[in-house]
A and B are shown apart, each in its own frame.
Chain A
Amino acid sequence: MKIIVIGNGMVGQKFCEKLVGQKIEDLELTVFGEETLPAYDRVHLSEYFAGKTVQDLCMKPMGWYAENNVNLHLGDPVTQVDRAQKTVTSFEGKQFSYDYLVFATGSAAFVPQISGIDKHGVFVYRTIEDLNLIWRHAKIAKSAVVIGGGLLGLEAAKAMLDLGIPNTHVVEFAPRLMPRQIDDGGSHVLTEKLKALGITTHTQKNTAVILGNETITGLMFTDGSILSTDMLVISAGIKPRDELAKKIGLHIGHRGGISVNDHMQTSDPSVYAIGECAVHEGAVYGLVAPGYEMAEVAVHQLTGGTRAFGGFDMSTKLKLIGIDVASFGDPFIGNEDARSIVYHDNHKGIYQRINVSNDGTELLGGILVGDAEAYNKLQQICANKLTIPSDPAGLIRASGDTPNAPDNFELPASALICSCEGVKKQGIEDAVVQNGCESFDAVKKCTGAGSGCGGCTPMVKDIINATLKKQGKLVRNIICEHFAYSRQELYDIIRIKELHSFDEVLDSLGTGDGCEICRPAVSSILASLWNELIIKNESATSQDTNDRFLANIQKGGTYSVVPRIPGGEITPEKLIVIGTIAKKYNLYTKITGGQRIDLFGAHLNDLPLIWEELIAAGFESGHAYGKALRTVKSCVGSTWCRFGLHDSVSFAVRVENRYKGLRAPHKIKSAVSGCIRECAEAQSKDFGIIATEKGWNLYVCGNGGSKPQHALLLAADIDSETCIRYIDRFLMFYIKTADPLTRTATWLNKMEGGIDYLRNVVVHDSLGIAAELEAQMQTLADHYECEWKKAVETPELRKRFTHFINAPEAKDPTIVFEPLRAQKKAAEW
Chain B
Amino acid sequence: MDKNNWIYACKATDMPHNGGVCVQYGTEQIALYYFTHRNEWYATQNLCPHKKQMALSRGMLGSQQGEPKVACPFHKKTFSLKNGQCLNDEACSAIKTYPVKVHEGNIFINVASILTPHSSTPIEYEPQ
User: A interface vs B, CB < 8 Å?
Assistant: 481-482, 502-503, 506, 512-516, 518-520, 537-538, 540-542, 544-546, 548-549, 553, 556-557, 800, 803-807, 810, 812-815, 829
Contacts and interface: CB of A to CB of B under 8 A. Distances in A.
Chain A CB within 10 Å, residue with most, of B15, B16, B62: B62
Contact of A538 (B17, B27, B29, B62): B17
Given A482-B62, A514-B61, A553-B58, 10 more contacts: A481-B65, A482-B63, A512-B62, A512-B63, A513-B63, A516-B60, A519-B60, A538-B17, A542-B60, A557-B54
Contacts of B17: 537-538, 541
A601 to B, nearest CB: 15
B71 A515 contact: yes
9 contacts: A512-B66, A513-B63, A513-B68, A516-B78, A540-B16, A545-B59, A804-B23, A805-B9, A805-B14
A805 B63 contact: no
Given A541-B17, A548-B58, A513 B53 contact: no
Contacts of B74: 553
Contacts of A806: 8-10, 23-24
B51 A829 contact: yes
Contacts of A556: 53
Contacts of A481: 64-65
Nearest to B88: A516
A542 B58 contact: no
Contacts of A810: 24
Contact of B22 (A513, A545, A548, A805): A805
Interface string B57-90: 0111111111011010110101000000000000
B63 A514 contact: yes
Given A542-B60, A557-B55, A805-B23, A503 B32 contact: no
Contact of B37 (A514, A553, A813): A514
B38 to A, nearest CB: 6
Contacts, number: 104
Contact of A812 (B23, B37, B54): B54
Nearest to A545: B73
A516 B71 contact: yes
A541 B62 contact: no
Interface in B1-34: 8-10, 14-19, 21-24, 27, 29, 32
Contacts of A519: 60, 62
A508 to B, nearest CB: 13
B35 interface: yes
B33 to A, nearest CB: 10
A824 B61 CA distance: 33
B6 to A, nearest CB: 14
B62 A513 contact: yes
B39 to A, nearest CB: 11
A828 to B, nearest CB: 10
A49 B10 CA distance: 57
B11 to A, nearest CB: 9
Contacts of B10: 805-806
Chain B CB within 10 Å, residue with most, of A481, A538, A556, A803: A803
Contacts of B64: 481, 515
Contacts of B68: 513
A813 B54 CA distance: 10
A814 B74 CA distance: 16
The 9 closest A-B pairs by CB, nearest first: A541-B19, A515-B62, A545-B73, A516-B71, A513-B63, A805-B21, A804-B24, A829-B51, A516-B60
Contacts of A542: 18, 60
A807 B54 CA distance: 16
Contacts of A553: 55, 58, 73-74
B19 A540 contact: yes
Chain B CB within 10 Å, residue with most, of A520, A548, A810, A815: A548
Contacts of A518: 62
Contact of B73 (A506, A544, A800): A544
B79 to A, nearest CB: 11
B60 A513 contact: no
A515 B23 CA distance: 23
Nearest to B9: A806
B37 A503 contact: yes
Nearest to A549: B58
B71 to A, nearest CB: 4
A815 B15 CA distance: 24
Contacts of A503: 18, 36-37
Nearest to B47: A814
Nearest to A513: B63
Contacts of A803: 22
B54 A545 contact: no
B32 A805 contact: yes
Contacts of B60: 515-516, 519-520, 541-542, 544-545
A516 B14 contact: no
Contacts of A516: 59-60, 62, 71, 76, 78
B53 to A, nearest CB: 6
A722 B32 CA distance: 52
B56 to A, nearest CB: 11
A503 B37 CA distance: 7
A814 B76 CA distance: 21
B13 to A, nearest CB: 11
Contacts of B54: 557, 812, 814-815
B2 to A, nearest CB: 21
A656 B56 CA distance: 35
A538 B15 CA distance: 11
B77 to A, nearest CB: 10
B14 to A, nearest CB: 6
